[in-house]
């Protein structure tokens, strides 16, 4: 069993300010390893956080930003694909059954509600608004996995909303 040793605790550098600033070093010699730079106002020391930042935080931030960009791009592509699918559906029905097909659709027609819903998704400029896309995406109207999409998007927003600021703060 080791004996108890009295250890002298280091004195904080703030209490040695005058002695440290008064020290004149040789300009030819390099500063020792933990010292990054010395001038009349500051003594900059290297610590392990710099190594952690360069080895972990910067690559992690870049990978999270890349994942976030791919998620946003995926939602945008789904939005535009849904718009194009609706336009193709309307064009096909009008070409096959005539231009007045949607106005003269019989009330007892099978799937009448779904057909009219698809027709009324577009605005007056034949564009699918992002609000309508989100209603369709989460409302289980046209997407098979509406509940999965809702959970995935919510978890993605929580993940990216917390990790990007944390990694950015670490830099």
Residue 72's pLDDT band, with cuts at 50, 70 and 90, is very high
The three-state secondary structure class of 126 is: coil
pTM beyond cutoff 0.85: no
pLDDT digits (tens, 9 = 90+) for 134-145: 888 887 555 566
Alpha-carbon gap, residue 63 to 71, rounded angstroms = 12
For residue 8, name the pLDDT band (cuts at 50, 70, 90): low
**Residue 144 or 119, more confident:** 119
Which class for 137: exposed (0-12), middle (13-18), buried (19 or more C-beta within 10 A)?
A: buried
pLDDT tens digits, one per residue of 152-164: 889 999 999 999 9
Please give the torsion angle defined by the CA atoms of residues 125, 131, 132 and 133, in that order, rounded to the nearest 10 degrees.
100
Closest CA to 127 of 156, 84, 73, 98: 84
Mean pLDDT along residues 118-145? 80
Q: What is the predicted pLDDT for the residue at 3? A: 62
Domain spans, the chain: 13-45, 49-170
Q: Is pLDDT above 90 for 93?
A: no
Residue 81 sits at φ, ψ, to 5 deg, of -65, -40
Predicted confidence at residue 157, as pLDDT, reads 92
């Amino acid at each position: 069993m080791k004996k108890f040793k009295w250890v002298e605790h280091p004195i904080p550098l703030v209490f040695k300010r005058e002695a440290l600033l008064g020290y004149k070093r040789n300009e030819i010699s390099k500063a020792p390893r933990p010292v990054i730079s010395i001038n009349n106002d500051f003594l900059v020391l290297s610590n392990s956080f710099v190594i952690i930042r360069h080895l972990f935080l910067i690559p992690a931030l870049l990978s999270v930003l890349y994942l976030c960009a791919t998620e946003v791009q995926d939602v945008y592509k789904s939005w535009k694909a849904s718009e194009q699918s609706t336009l193709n559906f309307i064009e096909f029905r009008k070409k096959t059954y005539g231009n007045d097909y949607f106005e003269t659709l019989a009330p007892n027609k099978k799937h009448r509600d779904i057909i009219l819903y698809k027709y009324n998704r577009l605005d007056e400029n034949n564009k699918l608004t992002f609000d309508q896309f989100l209603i369709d995406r989460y409302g289980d109207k046209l997407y098979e996995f509406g509940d999965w999409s809702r959970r995935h998007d919510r978890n993605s927003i929580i993940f990216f909303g917390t990790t990007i600021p944390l990694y950015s703060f670490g830099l």
